[in-house]
Each structure stands twice: as C-alpha cells, then as structure tokens.
Amino acid sequence: MSIIRKPLQLKRRQFLQISGLSGINLLLTGCGTPIFEDVVGKLSEPINQKVESLILQPQKLIPEFPATEIEPQALIVNTFRDTPIIDTEKYRLIIDGEVNNPLSLKMSEIQALPFTSMIIRHVCVEGWAAIVQWGGIRLREIVALAQPKDSVKYAYFLSGDNYYSSWDIASALHPQTLLAYQKNGEPLPVDNGAPLRLASPIKLGYKQSKWVTRITLVSNLSMYKGYWEDQGYEWFAGL
C-alpha cells in the first residue's frame, strides 16, 4: 500500500544551513511562493545554475556503496496522487522536443540497451535517506539516440500520474543518472515507479520522477518547472 505524504516545506536555505553551507545560501536561494518565483526566478535562475554547477560539479562521479550496505526497508513510498496503472505491453517512452530523431520506445527496446547498476543513497527533502541498488539504462544513452539539437539545455519529465519535473541537461547526462527498471536486484515494483523511473545520486528525491512516460528536451524552461518546484521548492535540488 502506498504511503501518501506531503513533503515538508524545506527550502534550499534551510537545507544548506543544515548541511553547513549557509554561507552561500543567499546565492542559491530563489524560491518562496510561486508568485515570488515568477518575478524573481528568471533573474536568479541563471546565476543559481552557474553557482550550483560549480559547487556540485554535476559531471563528477559520486562514490557508491557495497551491496552489504543496501537498506531494503528504508525507501519510503511517496506519491502525490494515486499510483497509476500502466500496461507494460502498451507502454512507450516518448522522447521529443528539440531533437532530430524523436523516439517511441517499448520496454523491450529499452532493456536491450546497455545495462548499468549502481548502489547509491536516495535522499528525500523530508529528511530521510536510503541506500538502494538501481539498475537500468543511463539516461545519456537514451538522449543520444534522440539526437538532441545543440540548443538543448533542459529536460522535462512527465509521469503516468501527471507528475512533472525538469532538470538541467548536464545533470540529466550525468553518467550516474539512470532510467531504472530494477531495484535491489529485482524488477522495479510499481509503487517505486515501474516500469521506468529516474534514479541519481546528484538530485533530491522529488526530482527523481517515477512512472516516466515522456522526456522532452528544450532550450528554455517554461513558467512551469515542476510539480513541487512550482509550489516553491528549489529547482536545481542538487546534492
């Protein structure tokens, strides 16, 4: 049974203070109410991205964990709506936007691509974490197949429950950003995002969309940046 929780309103300022980085929080904070973000976000976002990319080094590999440290019961199931019912036989992953080769991929086609496994810590903005093994395809492999145009700077992710989020393209192409269909050596459970979900050690949990059905590559963000981001959560959400 899914546990439906509303994440705490932990702002980037609070997160950095907790992490001992409060000295740079004014540079990284641009969130508050959605109205405030509409006014200030477009001005602060470019510098936020540059500063956070410099600090967080989005292409740097993150140390992984041994299998002995996997925490099978620690990953809490969070949803913002009901768990969607997706027919895996009819499922297609759409990759579109500013690309030269739009894609519509079956799960069998995705699973035929090179498999990658990693054991990483999943960190939730609520304050809990879990060490999990994820297996799947590097997102950069999918993006490469779509032949993105040079103008692409962002990736939007749409989910089967209508959840949406957006990433900077550098984070999306990080070698440890996966579209996962395996968890802890077993097929990915529906509650955890099957048939396909994002998994990465460089983003907070609310950026790691479950039930991903569409990836749209774009050169500019719209005023709608993500379900939680549009309610004031920090957009970059890097670790």
* Range in 74-88, 104-118, 126-140, 171-185 with the lowest mean pLDDT: 74-88
Mean pLDDT of 112-131: 95
- Give kind and range of the element (H or E) at residue 117: strand 116-123
pTM (two decimals): 0.77
Q: Average model confidence (pLDDT) for the chain?
A: 81
Q: Is the per-residue pLDDT at 172 higher than 50?
A: yes
* Range in 42-46, 90-94, 179-183 with the lowest mean pLDDT: 42-46
Ranked by mean pLDDT, which of 10-14, 50-54, 155-159 comes out on top? 155-159
On the 0-12 / 13-18 / 19+ scale of CB atoms within 10 A, 235 is buried
Q: Answer with the residue of higher pLDDT: 29 or 186.
A: 186
> Per-residue confidence at 60, pLDDT binned at 50, 70, 90?
confident
Q: Answer with the residue of higher pLDDT: 27 or 178.
A: 178
Half-sphere exposure of 183 (CA within 13 A, CB side): 24
Q: Is the per-residue pLDDT at 179 higher than 50?
A: yes
Ranked by mean pLDDT, which of 28-37, 42-51, 175-184, 228-237 comes out on top? 175-184
Q: What are phi and psi of 156, to 5 degrees?
A: -100, 140
> Per-residue confidence at 29, pLDDT binned at 50, 70, 90?
very low
Q: Is the per-residue pLDDT at 31 higher than 90?
A: no
Three-class secondary structure of residue 226 per DSSP: coil
Mean pLDDT of 159-170: 96
pLDDT at 237: 92
pLDDT at 57: 57
Q: Is the per-residue pLDDT at 36 higher than 60?
A: no
Distance (Å) of CA 98 to CA 39, 45, 103, 136, 143: 27, 21, 12, 24, 11
Q: Answer with the residue of higher pLDDT: 77 or 14.
A: 77
pLDDT at 129: 94
Specify which residues 12 forms β-bridges with. Answer: none
